[in-house]
Amino acid sequence: MLLGVCILSAPTLFAGGPKKIAKINRSLWPYKINSAAEFDFASKMEMLVFARVLLASERITVEDSIKKYLGLEKISTLSITNWKEQVKKVLVANFNAINTTTNHDFIEIHKPQSWQQILNTANTLENKIPENLKAWFTNATEFYDSYIYEQMRLAALFPRVTSEILTLQSSEIIGFDYPDKQFLLTFDDGPTVAGGNTDKLISTLNKNNINGIFFVLGDMFNARLKATSVQKLNAIYKPMVIGSHGKVHTQHPRDEHWKYSLSFTNHLIDSVAPENKKTKYFRPPYGQRNDKMITYLNENNSRVMLWNIDSQDWNAKITSNEVADRVITLMLLWRRGIILFHDIHPKANIALPVIWEGLHNCNIQWLDAKQLN
């Protein structure tokens, strides 16, 4: 069986994480996703393939086998279980949100759904898949083999190494709590120099009447400020929301000066954009934080904002078009959430118009960052 073979062969690893990145070719999907019904059909297919691959991953039950599969010496089996339970609940809710059909829909799912009902349907998929979807089905299976590996690896490291995979406290925002088909755009690590990728990306967003949160690094923001003026920098970011990514891109739980990193960056943001939201958002680099940091932020009218859709646009192993295909696929899978891009790289500016066009007329709501609670 295809899934049983794929999921048991671990991708090549390196010290900082997996070398293999989950990529998919959306040109293999034979239908345009240009309506709510087409979005729902494509979403259902993605979720069913994900469910099949997740089930295959659960056949690895011995801890030493999981360690070998993930290429890790220490793992948290509890965190892996917690992650799996979380995504199962999300997918059950997602199936219950589907209320449309198309004339090429060949899978019937009755509501309300349980995870077992989803698995029962998913297990029939390979035998029912029509000829024009077989190439996509094979490609999607390979994608979720790699994607679930990515996610399981993060879960296995948590909470020894924190990331976006799970929350530490209920105040943290991860994106799965948003209503169906609502998405927020976020961009890390900027700003670039004047006229660079940050400016180009904001221009693209403005032309499409969409905004997002830009999580700036204090030192980068300060350098940009010194090269221009408060008024000019404010004008560039005014349609957006500015969040903090800390003073420098470092692992804040290991930095004894993390409070200074947060206060320095927030003060700088306030000096440029005093009209910025009263509630401040902090995105920890690499998603790494601890309870002490979260409590401090909560006490100072700030919240940790993570993400649940990683574009991987920073990765040299993925092209701009592959970034767009990956994001569209994960939007279909999760049906809600916070999308992570990086404005210091050019891929977001190329991928976003492809994503917008690829999901045109699907009743997707791009959240207004200025209207968030």
Cβ contact 166:349 at 8 Å: no
Lowest-confidence region among 4-13, 53-62, 184-193, 196-205: 4-13
- Mean pLDDT across 232-243: 96
Residue type, 170: S
Count of residues making up the chain: 373
What residue spans of the chain are helical by DSSP H?
2-7, 36-57, 63-70, 77-97, 115-122, 125-128, 134-157, 197-207, 218-227, 230-237, 258-272, 291-299, 320-334, 347-358
Summarised one tens digit per residue, pLDDT across range 90-111 is 999 999 999 899 999 999 888 8
Handedness of CA 317, 321, 327, 329 (dihedral sign): negative
DSSP codes, 116-164:
HHHHHHHTTHHHH--GGGHHHHHHHHHHHHHHHHHHHHHHHHTTTS--T
Architecture of the domain made up of 182-371: Alpha-Beta Barrel (3.20)
pLDDT for the residue numbered 124: 94
pLDDT above 90: percentage of residues in the chain = 91
| Domain layout of the chain by residue ranges | 32-157, 182-371
Of residues 356, 336, 361, the one with CA closest to residue 181 = 336
305 to 31, 176, 215, 268, 338: CA distances (angstroms) = 34, 12, 10, 19, 9
Query: What's the token pair of residue 345?
Result: 């790289």
Summarised one tens digit per residue, pLDDT across range 21-36 is 999 999 999 999 999 9
pLDDT for the residue numbered 138: 98
pLDDT for the residue numbered 276: 78
Cβ contact 313:347 at 8 Å: yes
- Mean pLDDT across 282-293: 98
Per the prediction, the chain carries an average pLDDT of 93
pTM of the model: 0.94
Using the predicted structure, report yes or no on whether residue 7 has a pLDDT greater than 60: no
- The number of beta carbons lying within 10 Å of the beta carbon of residue 267 is 10
Maximum Cα–Cα distance for the chain, whole Å?
63
